[in-house]
Amino acid sequence: MNRLLSDHGFTLADNPGSAGAQDYGPEQAAVLNAEGLRAARAEISSWPDYAPTPLISLPGLARAAGIADLYYKDEGGRFGLGSFKPLGGAYAVMRVIGAEIQRITGKHITSTDLLARRHADIVAGITVCAATDGNHGRSVAWGARMFGCRCVIYLNEAVTPGREAAIAAYGAEIRRVPGSFDDAVRAASDTAVTEGWHVVPDTAAGGNIGASGDVMQGYALLADEAVAQLPPATRPSHLFVQAGVGGLAAAVCGQFWQAFGADRPVTVTVEPTNADCWNRSFSAGAPVVVTGDIDSLMAGLSCGEISPISWPVLKVGAHASMTIPDQAAADTMRLLADADTGDRPVVGGESGVAGLAGFLLASQDTDARARLGLDETSIVVVVGSEGDTDPDTYREIVGRSGDQVRADAKSWGRA
């Protein structure tokens, strides 16, 4: 077994509530289902520049990690926003506007109607708002601009200026809030109530269910694409997905579960060491809030509170949970960019590589391999949920810009 990452401490815990080999049930289908996916796919695939993101095979890394195949769903190119997030935030903006137009006119509208600026007068009077670590706000602001409504984005103190600038570039008004991401979530929902705005959260924390179900259903499209992109008759054995509030992990877990039934992959959530709300919730058998310093290099995963609508899916859908330190994410970003194992170089951002980092740490640990059933026949899928969404941080960590790595990737194999 090769050692791909330095020996950073990680934890691996079984989820005592895991349903193991059960079928996808009504409790899960109430959150994510085939009809919801069909609706999300119909809308999102009609947006300008929609294309499935690539599912990249990394045979060199797979060999080095002692498994059969490793697939990386690379969300770095999604709609030019650098992450998977527009699938959720912008789709939920579309649904909010659609519901408002239906309420006022009684008419059902589609993205195509909005892009043609039908009902532009009503849309211009709508304000959507959201709290964000960066990527979600960017996707809500992008959706608001695409469909023509106003947008206000709440950022907590730790969000970098690079991420703020990326959101402001889509014309959103930015408001800074002292404290953590969870404080920004509360500020956004409180203001939405007083101002009559529509909050578009990526978490249902604080009872804020609203649009967060649409956000998750939109995310499920990436998992649906990935299932279709696997080579014919391929059954993945393992899925490692990073969790912040858990929307992404629940959507991916739920979609693979619906696609593969009881024979679905062993599903492992991956979180930063100090923002391990899923790890703690699994072991308590109920949602647990993590307080104190939850900041992490993996900014999108720095969450202390799970999203309650993800719970019905992950409480039984996740087989195990891992926590990993920031250095493991940084090492994995370099590993993907340098591609010393002979694979095509890939640009993966801090939160984006966390699932892969978790898998690599588990793959080089004899006990973790045995507990998860990882061996030379395993077929592992990970979600590369972002590229260089914060270009300065990316360059600092990797030593080269994302553009340079992308240029290396283009010339790869042409030697």
Ligand X SMILES: Cc1ncc(COP(=O)(O)O)c(C=O)c1O
Give the binding site for ligand X (CB under 6 A).
83, 85, 133, 135-136, 202, 242-249, 300-301, 303, 351-352, 385-386
Closest approach, Cβ 303 to ligand X, in A, equals 6
Q: Which of 69, 73, 74, 133 is flagged as catalytic? A: 133
Closest approach, Cβ 82 to ligand X, in A, equals 8
Closer Cβ to ligand X, 252 or 379, answer by number: 252
Closest approach, Cβ 140 to ligand X, in A, equals 12
Q: Which residues contact 36 (CB under 8 A, 6 or more apart)?
A: 213, 217, 220
Closer Cβ to ligand X, 101 or 318, answer by number: 318
Closest approach, Cβ 261 to ligand X, in A, equals 24
Rg of the Cα atoms in the chain: 20
- Kindly list the distances between the CA atom of residue 174 and the CA atoms of 90, 138, 166, 359, in Å, as whole numbers in the listed order: 17, 11, 11, 36
Closer Cβ to ligand X, 94 or 248, answer by number: 248
Closer Cβ to ligand X, 123 or 337, answer by number: 337
- Kindly list the distances between the CA atom of residue 38 and the CA atoms of 32, 41, 217, 221, in Å, as whole numbers in the listed order: 11, 5, 10, 9
Closer Cβ to ligand X, 98 or 244, answer by number: 244
Closest approach, Cβ 244 to ligand X, in A, equals 3
- Judging by DSSP bridges, how do beta strands 150-156 and 173-177 pair with one another? parallel
Closest approach, Cβ 338 to ligand X, in A, equals 21
Q: Which of 74, 85, 343, 365 is flagged as catalytic? A: 85
Residue 133 annotated to the active site = yes
Crossing angle (nearest 10°) for helices 391-398 and 402-411: 70
Closest approach, Cβ 298 to ligand X, in A, equals 8
Residue 73 annotated to the active site = no
Closest approach, Cβ 71 to ligand X, in A, equals 17
Q: Which residues are catalytic?
A: 85, 133
